Amino acid sequence: MRLFNTTGPCNPEKHDMLSLTKKLAFILMIAALAACARQKEHNWYKGNTHAHSTYSDGDTDVKDVIKWYHDNDYHFLFVTDHNYPLQPDSVKLPFATRPDFILIPGNEVSDELVIHTSALHTTGRIPTISSFRNMLKNGELSDAEFNALPETHSGILAMHVKDILDAGGLPVLNHPNFVTGVQVADILPVKYLKHMELFNGHPSVYNWGNEIHSAVEIKWDSILMQGKLLFGLASDDTHQLKQTDREMANPGRGWIMVHAASIGSQDIMNAIEAGDFYASTGVFLDDYRVENNVISVKIDEKSTLAELQAGRGYARKDLKDLSPGYCIAFIGCNGKILKSVNAAKAKYKIQPSDQYVRVRISYNIDHHEHFDTYYAWTQPVEAETGFFK
């Protein structure tokens, strides 16, 4: 499209418009440079989005739950007791906290059909089918009103998402492979759901799949390949601190590393909402960036080994015939591995045909009979052509 008449005599108005255009371009360039500078000033903050205390079905007082995360170098924590919105200012901690540690409000909306959705950064109760059922019994709700409520997995999840967003919070679909779980067909119709637990540290959630569920990572790709953008989290789902065992829901198994401007709750929430984080069960990244359609990944080997030596992190133990050490896999549509490198750093240039690319980083320890495998997952990046709806 031709914006200006480029033929004929000199036009003063044309020059004024060109001058204005140049000024606007300069302003935009300065703004872009400032944004880049601000981005470089961002830091990585470690946090857990899913933990329980004696306010619901945890075995430990909330003060001790908070203390564990504080003392183990986390920067933020959501205590998400079932249908109990803990208020951070209502907890008087018996210890001095670090200035770089915060508690952010939230709760786990736990409903019928085992639909559990974390309501991050909310302070009030979110309605459930179960709560409406109690209202029906108490005569506070008519049969017609109750019968109009959703009855399917997808419908209940959509209700949670809407109500959490209306309350100013961020909805996260929890452990989609727990019990009957949530299938891909249940998730796809749910508008505005942008976050799902890719890994959950509870021993009964079958992250890697079972006879009725595909692995959650396979479900993730099935959703992504249909153009629905979904960010993947890792969390603890802590229930037990008094005893430590692989078959218990202990802390320190899964977390997210959030790239945020500060440790303020709003900056943390903004970064989570935007997908500016990676999920981990033990692997730390020294650098992750996407520039000029090139994804660059560098593993923080020192922090990774220190974390595992401290006995934190959670290993997958059912894999065999792996290469020991680090593996960086760039994964595209339908879970296709586009490039795999057995090294601590790697790059990949996104191709238009890739549609989207995400990265799975693993650290494999050979125990002869099996491997202990620890992970980190980055969020999907779409190709220049655009893919996500």
Distance CA 270, CA 258 (A): 10
Task: Give which of 83, 75, 77 is closest to 64, Cα–Cα.
Answer: 77
Task: Give which of 233, 106, 263, 85 is closest to 169, Cα–Cα.
Answer: 106
| DSSP helix/strand/coil, 29 | helix
Structural contact between residues 111 and 156, judged by C-beta atoms closer than 8 angstroms: yes
Distance CA 341, CA 351 (A): 18
Rounded to an integer, what is the distance from CA 114 to the centroid of its chain? 20
Q: What pLDDT, on a 0 to 100 scale, did the predictor assign at position 20? A: 44
The DSSP line for 210-259 is -SS---HHHHHHHHHTTT---EEEEE--B---SS--TTS--SSS-EEEEE
Q: What pLDDT, on a 0 to 100 scale, did the predictor assign at position 350? A: 97
Provide the b/e sequence for 64-81 (b: ≥16 CB within 10 Å): ebbbbbbeeebbbbbbbb
Ranges under pLDDT 70 in the chain: 1-40
Distance CA 105, CA 93 (A): 15
| DSSP helix/strand/coil, 40 | helix
Distance CA 100, CA 80 (A): 20
pTM of the model: 0.89
Distance CA 300, CA 129 (A): 45
Q: What pLDDT, on a 0 to 100 scale, did the predictor assign at position 41? A: 73
Partners of 59 in the β-ladder: none
Q: What pLDDT, on a 0 to 100 scale, did the predictor assign at position 26? A: 44
Q: What pLDDT, on a 0 to 100 scale, did the predictor assign at position 1? A: 24
| DSSP helix/strand/coil, 139 | coil
Residue position matching structure tokens 């749910």: 190
Distance CA 221, CA 215 (A): 10
Structural contact between residues 258 and 277, judged by C-beta atoms closer than 8 angstroms: yes
Pairing of strands 371-377, 277-280: antiparallel
- What is the helix (H) or strand (E) element at residue 21, kind and residue range? helix 12-41
Q: What pLDDT, on a 0 to 100 scale, did the predictor assign at position 285? A: 98
Structural contact between residues 122 and 168, judged by C-beta atoms closer than 8 angstroms: yes
Q: What pLDDT, on a 0 to 100 scale, did the predictor assign at position 28? A: 40
Q: Spell out where 219-377 has E strands.
A: 231-235, 255-260, 277-280, 285-291, 294-299, 325-331, 337-341, 345-349, 356-366, 371-377
Provide the b/e sequence for 237-268 (b: ≥16 CB within 10 Å): bbbbbeeeeeebbbbbbbbbbbbbbebebebb
